[in-house]
């Protein structure tokens, strides 16, 4: 009861601050005045004040170069909103051009986002999804000044666009671009943008992760992003993510959220990628990508262990295209790329994203792991085409006995040697070897990613030419620990891991 009275008394006191001018309120005011007049010692907070001033300096120096971007375009939509009343609607159904149905009409679409100026003449970098199909683009500065802008180019794969202020007589403030490859997890991160159209909002956090593989842009596949817990919300897209020195190290692009608002998981495009893409859009009119001419895949713990690795960091080369830069450099399937020019490679997507910062003809120095030993390989990069990898050279591995095999119900995998009928069903160029003929749903084989029609070329480091060999190797293997498979599928080779249920 005593605690209850104290709680009720405190509630009354709080309410009294706003509604009463009696003795209690006067006494409280007197106490507050006395507290304000007391000397404050800040010596112990010098470090905190220095950090606070650093945030203030970043906001003051970067915000003038951050703009609000408004995009407008017209789009065909379906609906009934163009009809003013039911008579109009009935006339449409009975006399409309198609004799009825849901009408189509043109409607204005708008989007809001952010961007930042990178050249004094008004070149702005933002997200491709911010400008969308824009027919009209307007940028608004911190002081409320607006300018029309035109789209220079956009790349939906990386979700980067470049626009330019049309007024060529002005000189505009610019940001300083940093080095996203030099970032470390735990560094301060400062986001500036226009969340929910609230102009020039500054939020702070840290770099939560690097090389985060996320698929954001439609058709772009998974890319490598900076993850931050600095609050990012709709409208922040295209705005800068800065370090404590005020350098832009990323472009805020997306959030992970179940509510539509920030829950502390935001993603930014590394600025080193944005530099290359923006330069290409301005100077070439399109993005010229560099690549190895190889197919790479990420490592899971089981696959990494099978190669003698203690972590999943690295990109596993599974296929080399004939005549490619990778082949000329001597790279082989099974090589694991650990770093490029001294920068660690976290995953296959991280390697592909890092290569976005290179140009064709440039030499990249790779650290690879092959047969348990590290070595250095220099690759003169080729122009990357947005097409599927070309088929690898067919391997003539010897004879066949047309035997069939079944790994057992525990794995749910059936396979057999290639018969003339099976060869006719396989894609052209298929190498010899046992072919997967059946996968039981929900089985370990299904979980491994194997598919009917896959040609199994190796188990671990053991090459295969027949189903009988595959039988013998699987019987000798500890399937509780699992085995690494090297398979051919539709013209490319890849690795997978097959493990019995523990």
CA 486 – CA 318 distance, rounded (Å): 8
Rounded mean pLDDT for each run of 10 residues along the chain, 502 residues in total:
34 29 39 50 73 93 95 72 51 52 66 93 95 91 93 92 88 95 94 88 94 67 84 91 96 80 86 93 91 92 91 94 94 95 88 88 96 94 61 31 53 90 88 92 89 93 90 88 92 92 64
CA 476 – CA 480 distance, rounded (Å): 12
* Other CB atoms within 10 Å distance of the CB of residue 234: 19
* Other CB atoms within 10 Å distance of the CB of residue 203: 21
> Closest by alpha carbon to 246, among 184, 178, 183?
178
**Pairing verdict, β 247-255 and 176-177:** parallel
Q: For residue 467, give both structure tokens.
A: 């189903």
pLDDT at 70: 92
Taken in order of first residue, the domains within the chain and their CATH numbers are 176-283 (2.40.10.10), 290-383 (2.30.42.10), 404-498 (2.30.42.10)
pLDDT at 19: 33
pLDDT at 283: 93
Please list the active-site residues. 129, 159, 237
DSSP per-residue codes, 381-412: -EEPPSSPPPPPPP---------EEE--TTTT
Phi and psi at 326, nearest 5°, equal: -65, -45
- CB-based burial label for 37 (10 Å; 0-12, 13-18, 19+): exposed
Q: Which residue has the tokens 């300083």?
A: 176
Contact 273, 179 (CB under 8 A): no
CA 269 – CA 286 distance, rounded (Å): 18
pLDDT at 410: 74
pLDDT at 349: 83
Side-chain half-sphere of 441: how many Cα atoms within 13 Å? 0
CA 145 – CA 151 distance, rounded (Å): 19
Q: Is 481 helix (H, G, I), strand (E, B) or coil?
A: coil
Contact 106, 87 (CB under 8 A): no
pLDDT at 224: 81
Contact 374, 368 (CB under 8 A): yes
C-alpha Rg value of the chain to the nearest Å: 31
Q: Which residue has the tokens 């097409």?
A: 387
pLDDT at 222: 64
Going by C-beta distance under 8 Å and a sequence separation of 6 or more, which residues neighbour residue 369? 307, 309, 314, 335, 336, 338
């Amino acid at each position: 009861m005593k605690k209850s009275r104290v709680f009720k008394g405190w509630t009354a006191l709080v309410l009294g601050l706003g509604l009463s001018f009696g003795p209690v309120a006067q006494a409280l005011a007197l106490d507050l005045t006395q507290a304000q007049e007391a000397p404050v010692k800040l010596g112990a907070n010098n470090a905190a004040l220095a950090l606070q001033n650093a945030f203030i300096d970043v906001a003051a120096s970067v915000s003038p170069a951050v703009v609000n971007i408004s995009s407008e375009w017209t789009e065909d939509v379906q609906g009934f909103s163009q009809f003013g009343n039911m008579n109009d609607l009935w006339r449409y159904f009975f006399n409309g051009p198609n004799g009825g149905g849901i009408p189509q009409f043109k409607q204005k679409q708008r989007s809001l986002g952010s961007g930042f100026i990178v050249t004094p003449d008004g070149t702005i970098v933002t997200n491709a999804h911010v400008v969308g199909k824009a027919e009209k683009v307007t940028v608004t500065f911190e002081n409320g000044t607006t300018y029309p802008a035109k789209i220079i180019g956009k790349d939906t794969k990386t979700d980067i666009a470049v626009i330019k202020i049309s007024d060529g007589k002005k000189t505009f403030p610019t940001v300083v671009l940093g080095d996203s490859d030099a970032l470390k997890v735990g560094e301060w991160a400062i986001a500036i943008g226009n969340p929910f159209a609230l102009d020039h909002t500054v939020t702070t956090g840290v770099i939560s992760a690097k090389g985060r593989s996320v698929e954001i842009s439609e058709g772009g596949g998974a890319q490598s992003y900076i993850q931050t817990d600095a609050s990012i919300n709709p409208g922040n897209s295209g705005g800068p993510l800065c370090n404590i020195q005020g350098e832009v190290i990323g472009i805020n692009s997306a959030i992970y959220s179940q509510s539509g608002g920030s829950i502390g998981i935001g993603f930014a495009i590394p600025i080193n990628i944005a530099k290359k893409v923006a330069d290409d859009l301005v100077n070439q009119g399109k993005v010229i990508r560099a690549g190895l001419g190889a197919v790479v895949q990420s490592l899971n713990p089981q696959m990494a262990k099978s190669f003698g690795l203690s972590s999943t960091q690295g990109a596993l080369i599974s296929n080399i295209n004939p005549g490619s830069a990778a082949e000329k450099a001597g790279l082989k399937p099974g090589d694991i790329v650990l770093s490029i020019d001294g920068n660690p490679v976290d995953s296959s997507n991280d390697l592909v994203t890092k290569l976005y910062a290179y140009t064709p003809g440039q030499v990249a120095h790779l650290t690879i792991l092959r047969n348990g030993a590290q070595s250095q390989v220099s690759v003169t990069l080729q122009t990357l085409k947005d097409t599927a990898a070309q088929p690898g050279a067919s391997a003539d591995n010897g004879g066949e006995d047309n035997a069939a095999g079944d790994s057992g119900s525990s794995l749910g995998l059936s396979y057999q040697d290639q018969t003339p009928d099976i060869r006719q069903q396989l894609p052209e160029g298929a190498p010899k070897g046992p072919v997967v003929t059946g996968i039981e749903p929900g089985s370990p084989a299904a979980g491994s990613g194997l598919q009917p029609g896959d040609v199994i070329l190796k188990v671990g480091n053991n090459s295969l030419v027949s189903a009988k060999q595959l039988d013998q190797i699987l019987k000798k293997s500890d399937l509780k620990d699992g085995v690494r498979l090297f398979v051919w599928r539709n013209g490319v080779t890849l690795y997978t891991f097959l493990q019995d249920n523990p």
